[in-house]
């Protein structure tokens, strides 16, 4: 990487807590360096309590924009001047663009996910999908999948106190797009089996399978050869769900390129340029 910083260098950053482990600074700075853009991307540890002050400071020095990660993606909503359609529908913002002092909120998690599917030749437009979970990542993915033309989405969610929120979200997406979104109880195995049977793609967007968790929410016998299986977790690279998919001779992918392509979508919003993704795969993801 060869960043040449000077008095004209423009600032971008990641805000969140924690942020020190993030790959985003490397990914964006490698891209600026490769394309010869006079920009720099830093990571700032910011909590919801000091987010407003942080944004005022960034605005005062005319920053280009920023990414937001946990726990700021919804906390930031009232601090923005405008929201993209996907950010409004998913009520989640991971990217801010500073447009002449107006802060525009976008969500690129869903775009990143859909682009990562295409990158692996997973084609789902006009098809049905089943997604496990209804948290921040799941709602961003469902929103973008619906906007891009996935036909029907089964959201499998635990029947707890946030179940009705998921049902309301599904109703909103069904009303505002041409996609039908149905929320079902994750523990109802007959419903899960039928949803997967009716789907081209199965996506895990829960925390189940992360780090040392060897669990999978899907019995291996529900998987089949012509099902596309995706886990948005990337630590570990192979979750139990993906191992089961491999054993069933299904095509599968983990979440590392979702991370890459959400960054690429933010990069495009800020700079107007395409991120050099092949170069970033080599330098940051191999």
Report in angstroms how near the CB of residue 15 gets to ligand NAP at its nearest: 16
Stretch that binds ligand NAP, among 35-43, 54-62, 123-131, 257-265 (CB under 6 A): 257-265
77-185-192-236 Cα dihedral, nearest 10 degrees: 50
**41: exposed, middle or buried (C-beta count within 10 Å: 0-12, 13-18, 19+)?**
buried
Please, which residue, 254 or 271, has the CB nearer to ligand NAP? 254
Distance CA 175, CA 48 (A): 32
Report in angstroms how near the CB of residue 70 gets to ligand NAP at its nearest: 7
Distance CA 142, CA 66 (A): 23
Residues with catalytic roles: 73
Which residues within the stretch 164-203 sit at the binding site for ligand NAP (CB under 6 A)? 186
Which residues within the stretch 48-77 sit at the binding site for ligand NAP (CB under 6 A)? none
CA separation, residue 248 to residues 142, 225, 229, 252, 276 (Å): 26, 6, 10, 10, 34
For ligand NAP, the binding residue among 133, 143, 239, 265 (CB under 6 A) is 133
For ligand NAP, the binding residue among 206, 216, 239, 240 (CB under 6 A) is 206
Rg (CA), the chain: 19
For ligand NAP, the binding residue among 51, 205, 253, 280 (CB under 6 A) is 205
Strand partners for 40: 11
Please, which residue, 98 or 105, has the CB nearer to ligand NAP? 105
The site for ligand NAP (CB under 6 A) is made up of 109, 133-138, 157-158, 160, 162, 186, 205-208, 210, 217, 232-234, 255, 258-259, 262
């Amino acid at each position: 990487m060869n960043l040449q910083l000077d008095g004209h260098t423009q600032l971008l950053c990641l805000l969140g807590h924690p942020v020190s482990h993030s790959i985003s600074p490397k990914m964006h700075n490698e891209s600026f360096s490769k394309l010869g853009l006079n920009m720099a991307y830093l990571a700032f540890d910011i909590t919801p309590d000091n987010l407003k002050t942080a944004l005022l400071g960034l605005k005062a020095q005319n920053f280009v924009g920023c990414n937001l990660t946990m726990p700021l993606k919804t906390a930031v909503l009232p601090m923005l001047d405008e929201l993209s359609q996907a950010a409004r529908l998913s009520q989640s913002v991971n990217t801010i663009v500073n447009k002449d002092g107006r802060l525009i909120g976008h969500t690129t998690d869903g775009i990143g996910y859909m682009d990562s599917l295409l990158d692996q030749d997973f084609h789902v437009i006009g098809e049905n999908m089943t997604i496990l979970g209804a948290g921040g990542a799941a709602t961003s993915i469902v929103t973008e999948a619906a906007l891009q033309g996935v036909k029907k989405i089964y959201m499998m969610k635990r029947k707890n106190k946030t179940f009705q929120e998921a049902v309301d979200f599904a109703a909103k997406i069904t009303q505002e797009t041409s996609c039908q979104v149905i929320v079902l109880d994750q523990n109802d195995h007959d419903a899960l089996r039928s949803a997967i049977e009716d789907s081209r793609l199965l996506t895990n967007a829960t925390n189940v399978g992360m780090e040392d968790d060897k669990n999978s929410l899907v019995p291996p016998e529900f998987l089949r050869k012509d099902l596309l299986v995706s886990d948005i977790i990337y630590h570990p690279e192979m979750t139990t769900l993906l191992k089961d998919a491999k054993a069933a001779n299904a095509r599968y992918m983990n979440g590392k390129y979702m991370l890459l392509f959400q960054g690429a979508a933010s990069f495009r919003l800020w700079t107007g340029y395409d991120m050099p993704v092949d170069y970033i795969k080599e330098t940051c993801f191999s």
